[in-house]
Structure 1
């Protein structure tokens, strides 16, 4: 009876929160950007420069795309990247080095276009200011050392960046960020990825780790209707699945990547988990999660392990009710004892974005998980019914 009352109270809280936010948040509702840019995709499909039909960028499986590019000469691959940079640059299954080249061309073209907009007297001051911000972002991504694996200028913009070298990496990790992350504001996601790679390299330099910041979906803005529902996560989940399929087809680490999902990103990862397998990822790790729209850890793919960072006491996500009602809320708490995830310590982490900060137990644990050093992971203090801790069943 006590549990039933608590659930009713939580449901009432979710409903009250929704009623109070939907009105002002409706104007901030995002339209998800999915699929390749229509104009670029149409030009690609209509191009017979190689004397044959090019693979449909929206429908071709990444493994088939990888086979297509493997059958081309280097000159043919470069020709396609030059003619269709927006398509090749984000085509899962295309060789990563070719995608870097294509995205350099696409970023250069978009930077020049935005610079031209800054001098357009027909535009408002706000539009010119936004153009300057975009041009500056593109310019930073064009500086030496950046490896852009995907780029989409539509809407708020999306970008996928690699830290490290995918050709030599024996261990790869992917960071999926949460709300308020886009092309011009992904510095937090980038910092998470860089910090994780640095910790992995410090602990296992011979593995030449690479970490990818995957800003490949439309995220919610602020705390409103989008953040309280799963519709943006549902639109983004197929993109993550395709991306991981492309990684499996084009990279050859010692094991599949470990995927780290922060905040609303864990909602996306939970939805994607129903269609993922151990071939696509080795470990699924959530931090600052409001819920995964999963009832239990057993719903993640066979062969992959599900981990959750213990919630930092100063993280506001602790105040979110662990329920889902009428599409609002994201369900069970992944750190709860009944959920069944392997809960790891986040000692010294502070705030909602502090789990990837150097010196925290969470970052050390994340690095050990990504490196497959499971016995080195520090478990959170187990509850009586989870006394086996987070190491049970691991070698």
Structure 2
């Protein structure tokens, strides 16, 4: 029963299970990092990755995978801005929404289960919605930028990978390296990590020592840590859950087995965890970035640095509290 509840809560609702990552793709010419963030350098990088995506599309078509080829064709469309792309082993990418060269606030989205090149539209739609919300609240350069970071092989809907932290352990060094490259490219920017579902396990593993302003856990089954303080992050840690999100039914335990541990431990929205709570509305597990929704507005407020934390019963010494004690 524990395994079933964890699997159902961590996985995004999709129509089909994840497909094998057997479609060939070329070795990328561009490293999986931010690089220089001047307008000219970014334009060159976006163009190089567009060429790489088109090359991967041709290989997928030659392999006979029309679905993958179609996904890649859409990703290579004019105007798309990919900082990084690697089509091998299921595919990894990092797409930018907004003007990264000038943005003073940058949100990095870390997705959960069953997010990949063949299901990328869902992930992209959330990034687009968040960028529009940021732009509506702070026009111009203050609107910020959003990076959709699909930098790891997400676990499938049902199976042991979605019940344990193995995929997150492998992903964490990649996320840390990407954030470090973002810090180097944009040293004056305010960076926030927004971590959905199994992505919160990834962020939990990567959190220690990261130079980010916020780590936001939403739809989270847990991080593997017993408290926000145990993450070892200097960032403000936030947590929210929609009223209709079934992840709230998961048993928040960690069960040691012979070669692994099942489950992700403490509930991030529990007062004892010590995260700053934010209102996440009445929606379900896939509704946090829906246009016009309560959680989308509050996530944008956190990214803009407008949200204050006053309700966490065990705040970390570095937690920021806004004048007046307002909360998202």
TM interval, shorter chain, is 0.7 to 0.9
* 2:236 pairs with 1:294: no
Q: How does 1:51-200 map to 2 (within 5 A)?
A: 86-93=28-35, 95-117=41-63, 128=64, 131-200=65-134
Task: Output the TM-score relative to the length of structure 1.
Answer: 0.70
Distance (whole Å) between structure 2 residues aligned to residue 219 and residue 305 of structure 1: 25
Q: Does the C-alpha gap of structure 1 residues 212 and 17 become closer, same or farther in structure 2, counting only changes over 3 Å?
A: closer
| Higher RCO (CA < 8 A, seq sep 6+) | 2
Distance (whole Å) between structure 1 residues aligned to residue 263 and residue 236 of structure 2: 24
Checking the alignment, whether the CA contact within 8 Å between 1:172 and 1:253 is kept in structure 2 is no
* 2:305 pairs with 1:372: yes
Q: How does 1:253-264 map to 2 (within 5 A)?
A: 253-255=188-190, 257-264=191-198
Instruction: State the match for 2:171 in structure 1.
Output: 236
Checking the alignment, whether the CA contact within 8 Å between 2:3 and 2:163 is kept in structure 1 is no
* 2:163 pairs with 1:251: no
Instruction: State the match for 1:53 in structure 2.
Output: none
Distance (whole Å) between structure 2 residues aligned to residue 251 and residue 344 of structure 1: 27
Checking the alignment, whether the CA contact within 8 Å between 2:103 and 2:144 is kept in structure 1 is yes
CA drift of 1:142 comes to 1.4
Instruction: State the match for 1:394 in structure 2.
Output: 322
Q: Kindly report the root-mean-square deviation, in angstroms, between the aligned alpha carbons of the 2 structures.
A: 2.8
CA drift of 1:113 comes to 2.3
Checking the alignment, whether the CA contact within 8 Å between 2:130 and 2:289 is kept in structure 1 is yes
* 2:258 pairs with 1:325: no
Q: Does the C-alpha gap of structure 1 residues 92 and 209 become closer, same or farther in structure 2, counting only changes over 3 Å?
A: closer
Checking the alignment, whether the CA contact within 8 Å between 1:290 and 1:330 is kept in structure 2 is yes
Q: Does the C-alpha gap of structure 1 residues 146 and 29 become closer, same or farther in structure 2, counting only changes over 3 Å?
A: closer
Distance (whole Å) between structure 2 residues aligned to residue 372 and residue 212 of structure 1: 17
Distance (whole Å) between structure 2 residues aligned to residue 190 and residue 134 of structure 1: 16
Instruction: State the match for 1:217 in structure 2.
Output: 152
User: Where do 4+ consecutive residues of structure 1 move more than 3 Å?
Assistant: 15-19, 28-33, 91-98, 300-303
Instruction: State the match for 1:344 in structure 2.
Output: 278
CA drift of 1:89 comes to 4.8
Structure possessing the higher radius of gyration over alpha carbons: 1
More helix as a share of residues: 1
The aligned length equals 300
Distance (whole Å) between structure 1 residues aligned to residue 227 and residue 97 of structure 2: 32
* 2:215 pairs with 1:284: yes
Q: Which segments of 5 or more consecutive residues in structure 1 lack a partner in the other structure?
A: 1-12, 20-27, 41-85, 118-127
